[in-house]
Structure 1
Amino acid sequence: MAGAHADLHARKIMIAMDGGPESWYAVKWGIENVVRFGDNVLILYVGPKEEETGDYSAKALMWEKGGTPFIPLMEFGSLASFGLKGFTPELLAELEQLSKDLKLTIFAQVYFGNAKEKIVTAAEQNGTDLIVIGHRGLGKFQRLFSGSVSAHVVEETDCPVVVVKLPREK
């Protein structure tokens, strides 16, 4: 992840997301609590492989194995063409401000397929120093059949992983 602000001491922080409220909270929490001045931040979006037909599914097939090239923050608006949830104008404005304030280099990368596998693959391919991931809080029954993405990532990656839970409503 080279960029105008990249240097040899900048860490590579990957924040994994799927567009749900837990993952957007993890993006915000990670930038506010983990990311330091000058870090390189990769927002990794893993979309389901079987979604719709047409352009989306063609892109899903094309970027399934290695992910898209890095997408700079100023081009995040183009992510709408992938049919990805959650890239709102408000969030993009917030990321742009944080990028300026903290001199961050922020990129996105999109993978399609099994989130557990793709997050681990992306971390290895990108030389990630730390992963931030949201936690959906599935019940025991749901975890039995689908498994926990965050637990899998913690188990299978060689770098530290921060699992962020959405605060409980009071």
Structure 2
Amino acid sequence: MNRTSNLLGALSMVLADEMREAVNDTLRTTGETAAALIMVGAHPDVHIAEVAEALGLTHSGAVRLVDRLENEELVTRKPGPDSRTVLLRITREGERRRQAALRQRARVLGRALAHLSADEAELLGSCMDKILRGYLTERQQGYRFCRMCDEDTCVPYHCPVEEKWEELFG
């Protein structure tokens, strides 16, 4: 392993830990609850199975997570196109909490990027775009990549994950 890959690994872990802690503290939760809320808000009518896959949970684990979100009136369930499919939508309160979580995520990432000049940040953005496009190879990875993303920030500006997914599977 070279120094660059080692540094990338360290930075990835620090940022992931800080984002998870900041978001979970804001929502007063643990585990993948915040990621589920962020994902459901970005993808109305997402299936529970897609949430399970994106978050690395078993189907029953995802159902329990959605039960908690529904009990807190943060998401609602509705029947899908067949009897086995359940679709999820975020509630008004869920969206309010989702936005609070995304603000904390942005704070953590902004703190990291504050150490770079505008040119350095632009170069880093180009490199990350290329890495994400190269890394996406399987249909189910899209939600996994973006489970904690502020998709309103990325998607209108040529999201590399969305574009690569469309190229491969659209």
Q: For this structure pair, what is the TM-score category when the shorter chain's length is used for normalisation? A: under 0.3
TM-score (norm 2): 0.26
Say which structure is richer in helix.
Answer: 2
TM-score (norm 1): 0.26
Say which structure is richer in strand.
Answer: 1
- Give the structure, 1 or 2, with the largest relative contact order (CA under 8 Å, sep 6 or more): 1
Structure of greater Rg: 2
